[in-house]
Chain A
Amino acid sequence: MPADALLRARSLTKRFGGVTALDRVDFDLYEGEIHALCGENGAGKSTLIKLLSGIHPFGSYEGGFELRGRPARFESVADAEAAGIAVIHQELALVGEMSVAENLFLGSEPVRGAFIDYERMLGQSRELLRRFGLAIDPSLPAGSLGMGQRQLVEILKALRKNSGILILDEPTAALSEAESRRLLSILRDLRAQGISCVYISHRLEEIFALADRITVLRDGSTVATLRREDADPKLLIRHMVGREISELFPRRRAARGEAVLSVSHLSVEPEGGGRTLEDISFELHAGEVLGIGGLMGAGRSELLMHLFGAWGRRRSGSVRLAGAELACGGPEESIRRGLALVSEDRRRHGLFRGQDIRFNLSLSSLERFSRRGLVDSTVEGAAALSMFSSLKVRASGIGVDVGGLSGGNQQKVVLGKALMTDPRVVLLDEPTRGIDVGSKQEVYAFINDLTDSGRGVLLVSSELGELMGMSDRILMMRDGHAVGEFSPESDARALIAAALGHA
């Protein structure tokens, strides 16, 4: 390996308010190297990428980068691109209606005079595709390609800009087995051509099949950088999980009552994207938190959304809520029957920005405050106010616009909206994602209150510590299947092995 790194990060520290996302992280990348980054969700991988790619501009963090031995300041995405750094994000940035060629040349279309030179664009695209052995017709609309091919087009788009450094954020999360293998072999080809690659993945087998070196992040710090020859899956998992964390999760066991939600042999077909669910069975009891673990894309959110009636077509199996059959009849009916959902995407599925806290809290339970369609705003206000104070939302009153609240407080409002329907079963999808430590503790306290009052809670979490700390039982999922039930006293490594499929 050459002595001089192509890219070197020195003591990067990035804070969001009071939360330290990266703490003096060092990282380097050599020419023609594939360097894997791994760590649990929230370990700081995405933050590191955002610094590298100029999304968080130079000056908003401490420490700095060197490129070929010279200090480099990435003050914008354009700066990083000019330095040859390209990020392939999880959400792909192709325009579905435009052709593959148009996508490849988006923003730098070849022109002849004032007009786009389509012939040259098509020709160059064809050559580019041929060079990487891709059998894709560049005149097809990008939207007609499968996920894997779209991913590859995205990579070519970066390579066309002469990027020497590719950053891939979980590129195989949405790919099939064959597509993943294809991608890995192309990455190896690129490495042979001297292109460097930062590769983020939860899939250990990919990391071991591909990476030259592996850096593990945990809680914003670099735990270890290992050569592949020196690492094995067990060691990596130990580095990723690290310390004993159960103290941070003040789970208070409640008396376990009868089954409130019984799911048996549930199979669901996707509707508008998502993972097929296959033969899932479990029971949730009153006063119990059933944790649901697994990788991103394992089907956890789909399971919750389906139970809530908001996603998928049920192929077989049954769901019973407090003994009575629950069809997939839509959120309105689910809420009436006593289900509540707090979705993982708070901004998209939860919040009404531009409206005040009161509006947001009471929206799902308006029927309770109204007679003949007329909302009694004083009763409603009183109920919202009492929820507002029991959730300890930090705002001057319930008349405050939710758009201005911090992430933690927004999450409490979304939680409050679900709880105001007085549910029997609460479905929580990543309830603490992206919120500060203090708010997390309050969310945990609230989960305890829920089970104390005899409700059942399904808790989806990608944070292993949280999952093990807050659940009474844990169901692991992989590729749309339930792959095992664990007690929170189980070894964390066993859970990770189940999620990864490493028995």
Chain B
Amino acid sequence: MRNLSLVAALALIVAFFGIASPEFLSPRNLSMLAIELSITATLALGMLLVLLPGQIDLSVGSGVGLLGGIASVLVFQRGWPAPAAMGASLALGVLLWHLMGRLIVGQNLPPFIVTLGGLMVFKGLFWLIIGNSTIPVVPGGAHNLYSLLTTYYLPPAAGWVLAAAAGSALAWTRVRERSRRRRLNLELESGELFFLKLFVTLQSLLLFVALMNQFRGIPLPVLLLAATALAVGVLTRRTVFGRHLYAVGGNVEAAFISGVPVERTIVRAFTVMGAVVAATGFLQTAYAGASTTTVGELMELDAVAACVIGGTSLRGGRGSAAGVLIGALIMAALLNGMTLLAVSPEFKFIARGCVLTLAVWMDSRFHAPARHIS
């Protein structure tokens, strides 16, 4: 239900910009929007994993700059092959975030403070490592895996094949789950609704591929986002770890008494976040073409905003990958549309802030959960 109202809000935003600036709905712009969305949404999906158990991570923006910067330095200054450089940086991200998680639960420190410290420390390290200069992701004019991250497009034919494969895989798992539920006598939604939902999903998939193919094909970041979204969706909805995330955020004392490994769950959420930050760092740096001192700045706030707009509770225990995707899409569409309308940066910030506040206000007004009596 709440996701439906978000989709309606998104439709309004798209309609507004579509009318105000016809360029907004052009295949070229939609392709760019898709790339921008992929970068913020990937980070926001990681943030969801941290917010669900009632934590927060303010260090991810600096982390994006730092981990992207380390990979750039290894490639451009040390001549490492791109995959090795990115692998090393990813491993470092996982380690750093694991340690932050351990610090938070082990010493019982507030995550807000620890990650605020992380924000500053990582920013300083980042500037040290790139020497306050601009480090390209690839030596002049060439290509490597790093630069291709945001410049590669799947050829149209491959896009169609992929869409067909993904579509049939989705249909197959949905139908199989439905038949198992029927065998086990579990509640089922009506057949019409089931097929309608499946149909709409498959239609949107095809529409998306058709649109992207009108420009250059599906951008690689979109595939990475799809993989991240699928992973986070499965993680939150289908795994023991995911259940534990909701339990810790929903009622930490009850979670402990119920045998949930509270500390391990929180550390693990941060550890996964480390990998997500590294991936976002590579995407964002590649999109900018080089590491510069401003890469990643304020991205932590965009990630939190996307989560919150998508219905994630900052107190933990509530939120979904689908909601975060829509929240990120709203933020990305807003930003992209305002850029097309040549809105000045000052007013862009003001508009984003207002939309964030409005979204949270609507959420607390219309979707208020049962009041918690403490």
CA distance A310 to B260 in the complex (A): 12
CA distance A127 to B21 in the complex (A): 74
Within A350-375, the residues touching B (CB, 8 Å) are 350-355, 359, 362-364, 366-367, 370, 373-375
Chain B proximity mask over A263-294: 1 for CB below 8 Å, otherwise 0: 00000000000000000000000000000000
Question: Are B186 and A331 in contact, with the CB atoms below 8 A?
Answer: no
Contacts of A374 in B (CB 8 A): 234, 238-240
Question: Are A352 and B317 in contact, with the CB atoms below 8 A?
Answer: yes
Q: Which residue of B lies closest to A384 (CB)?
A: B186
CA distance A367 to B260 in the complex (A): 11
Within B230-271, the residues touching A (CB, 8 Å) are 234, 237-243, 246-247, 250-251, 253-261
Q: Is B187 an interface residue, CB under 8 A from the partner?
A: yes
Contacts of A350 in B (CB 8 A): 254, 257
Within B146-191, the residues touching A (CB, 8 Å) are 177, 180-181, 184-187
Question: Are A381 and B318 in contact, with the CB atoms below 8 A?
Answer: no
Chain B proximity mask over A371-400: 1 for CB below 8 Å, otherwise 0: 001110111011001000000000001110
Q: Is A348 an interface residue, CB under 8 A from the partner?
A: yes
Residue from the list A336, A349, A398, A403 in contact with B370, Cβ < 8 A:
A403
Question: Are B257 and A349 in contact, with the CB atoms below 8 A?
Answer: yes
Question: Are A359 and B181 in contact, with the CB atoms below 8 A?
Answer: no
Question: Are B250 and A353 in contact, with the CB atoms below 8 A?
Answer: yes
Contacts of B180 in A (CB 8 A): 378
Q: Which residue of A lies closest to B371 (CB)?
A: A403
Give the shortest distance, in Å, between B203 (CB) and chain A (any CB). Answer: 26
Contacts of A382 in B (CB 8 A): 184-186
Q: Which residue of A lies closest to B177 (CB)?
A: A378
- A331 and B246 contact, Cβ closer than 8 Å, known pairs A373-B240, A381-B186: no
Q: Is B141 an interface residue, CB under 8 A from the partner?
A: no
Question: Are A366 and B243 in contact, with the CB atoms below 8 A?
Answer: yes
Question: Are A375 and B240 in contact, with the CB atoms below 8 A?
Answer: yes
Contacts of B239 in A (CB 8 A): 370, 373-375
Question: Are B370 and A352 in contact, with the CB atoms below 8 A?
Answer: no
Contacts of B241 in A (CB 8 A): 373
Give the tally of cross-chain contacts (CB within 8 A).
Answer: 100
Q: Is B372 an interface residue, CB under 8 A from the partner?
A: yes
Within A162-192, the residues touching B (CB, 8 Å) are none
Q: Is A478 an interface residue, CB under 8 A from the partner?
A: no
- A359 and B246 contact, Cβ closer than 8 Å, known pairs A354-B317, A378-B181: yes
Question: Are A381 and B259 in contact, with the CB atoms below 8 A?
Answer: no
Give the shortest distance, in Å, between A284 (CB) and chain B (any CB). Answer: 20
CA distance A354 to B187 in the complex (A): 20
Question: Are A331 and B254 in contact, with the CB atoms below 8 A?
Answer: no
Residue from the list B237, B370, B372 in contact with A401, Cβ < 8 A:
B370
CA distance A370 to B257 in the complex (A): 20
- A352 and B369 contact, Cβ closer than 8 Å, known pairs A310-B256, A367-B240, A373-B239: no
Contacts of B234 in A (CB 8 A): 374
Give the shortest distance, in Å, between B122 (CB) and chain A (any CB). Answer: 30
- A334 and B370 contact, Cβ closer than 8 Å, known pairs A349-B253, A351-B254, A378-B186: no
Contacts of B258 in A (CB 8 A): 331, 335, 363-364, 417
Contacts of A375 in B (CB 8 A): 238-240, 242-243
Question: Are A363 and B260 in contact, with the CB atoms below 8 A?
Answer: yes
Within A333-351, the residues touching B (CB, 8 Å) are 334-336, 341, 343, 347-351
Contacts of B256 in A (CB 8 A): 310, 331
Contacts of B238 in A (CB 8 A): 374-375, 377
Contacts of B246 in A (CB 8 A): 352, 355, 359
Question: Are B186 and A385 in contact, with the CB atoms below 8 A?
Answer: yes
Q: Is A332 an interface residue, CB under 8 A from the partner?
A: yes
CA distance A374 to B258 in the complex (A): 19
CA distance A377 to B239 in the complex (A): 9
Contacts of A351 in B (CB 8 A): 251, 254
- A341 and B257 contact, Cβ closer than 8 Å, known pairs A352-B246, A363-B243, A374-B238: yes
Contacts of B237 in A (CB 8 A): 377
Q: Which residue of B lies closest to A353 (CB)?
A: B370
Q: Which residue of B lies closest to A365 (CB)?
A: B259
- A352 and B184 contact, Cβ closer than 8 Å, known pairs A373-B241, A378-B177: no
Contacts of B261 in A (CB 8 A): 332
Give the shortest distance, in Å, between B232 (CB) and chain A (any CB). Answer: 14
Contacts of A363 in B (CB 8 A): 243, 247, 255, 258, 260
CA distance A353 to B239 in the complex (A): 20
Contacts of A352 in B (CB 8 A): 246-247, 250-251, 254-255, 317
The listed residue with most A CB atoms (<10 A of its CB), out of B186, B254, B373, is: B254
Give the shortest distance, in Å, between A189 (CB) and chain B (any CB). Answer: 35
Q: Is A404 an interface residue, CB under 8 A from the partner?
A: yes
Question: Are B177 and A331 in contact, with the CB atoms below 8 A?
Answer: no
Contacts of A403 in B (CB 8 A): 369-370
Give the shortest distance, in Å, between B41 (CB) and chain A (any CB). Answer: 24
CA distance A223 to B64 in the complex (A): 72
Q: Which residue of B lies closest to A366 (CB)?
A: B240
CA distance A370 to B242 in the complex (A): 12
Question: Are A385 and B257 in contact, with the CB atoms below 8 A?
Answer: no
Contacts of A308 in B (CB 8 A): 257
CA distance A359 to B254 in the complex (A): 13
Contacts of A335 in B (CB 8 A): 258-259
Give the shortest distance, in Å, between B258 (CB) and chain A (any CB). Answer: 5
Give the shortest distance, in Å, between A393 (CB) and chain B (any CB). Answer: 15
Question: Are A332 and B259 in contact, with the CB atoms below 8 A?
Answer: yes
Q: Which residue of B lies closest to A345 (CB)?
A: B253
CA distance A417 to B251 in the complex (A): 15
Question: Are B240 and A370 in contact, with the CB atoms below 8 A?
Answer: yes
Question: Are B250 and A348 in contact, with the CB atoms below 8 A?
Answer: no
Question: Are A354 and B240 in contact, with the CB atoms below 8 A?
Answer: no
Question: Are B260 and A332 in contact, with the CB atoms below 8 A?
Answer: yes
Q: Which residue of B lies closest to A417 (CB)?
A: B258
Question: Are A354 and B254 in contact, with the CB atoms below 8 A?
Answer: no
Give the shortest distance, in Å, between A127 (CB) and chain B (any CB). Answer: 35
CA distance A382 to B181 in the complex (A): 9
Contacts of B184 in A (CB 8 A): 378-379, 381-382
Chain B proximity mask over A40-80: 1 for CB below 8 Å, otherwise 0: 00000000000000000000000000000000000000000
Contacts of B240 in A (CB 8 A): 366-367, 370, 373-375
Chain B proximity mask over A320-336: 1 for CB below 8 Å, otherwise 0: 00000000000110111
CA distance A47 to B133 in the complex (A): 71
Q: Which residue of A lies closest to B261 (CB)?
A: A332
CA distance A353 to B368 in the complex (A): 13
Question: Are A348 and B253 in contact, with the CB atoms below 8 A?
Answer: yes
Give the shortest distance, in Å, between B192 (CB) and chain A (any CB). Answer: 19
Question: Are A331 and B259 in contact, with the CB atoms below 8 A?
Answer: yes
17 CB contacts below 8 A, A to B, read: A334-B259, A351-B251, A352-B246, A352-B254, A353-B370, A354-B250, A354-B370, A355-B250, A359-B243, A359-B246, A366-B243, A375-B239, A375-B240, A378-B181, A378-B186, A382-B184, A399-B187
Seen from chain B, the residues whose Cβ lies within 8 Å of a Cβ on chain A are 177, 180-181, 184-187, 234, 237-243, 246-247, 250-251, 253-261, 317-318, 369-370, 372-373
Known: A351-B251, A417-B258. 11 other contacts (CB 8 A): A331-B258, A331-B259, A348-B254, A349-B254, A352-B251, A355-B317, A370-B239, A374-B238, A377-B237, A381-B186, A401-B370
The 10 closest A-B pairs by CB, nearest first: A403-B370, A335-B259, A352-B250, A382-B184, A332-B259, A366-B240, A364-B258, A378-B180, A331-B259, A381-B186
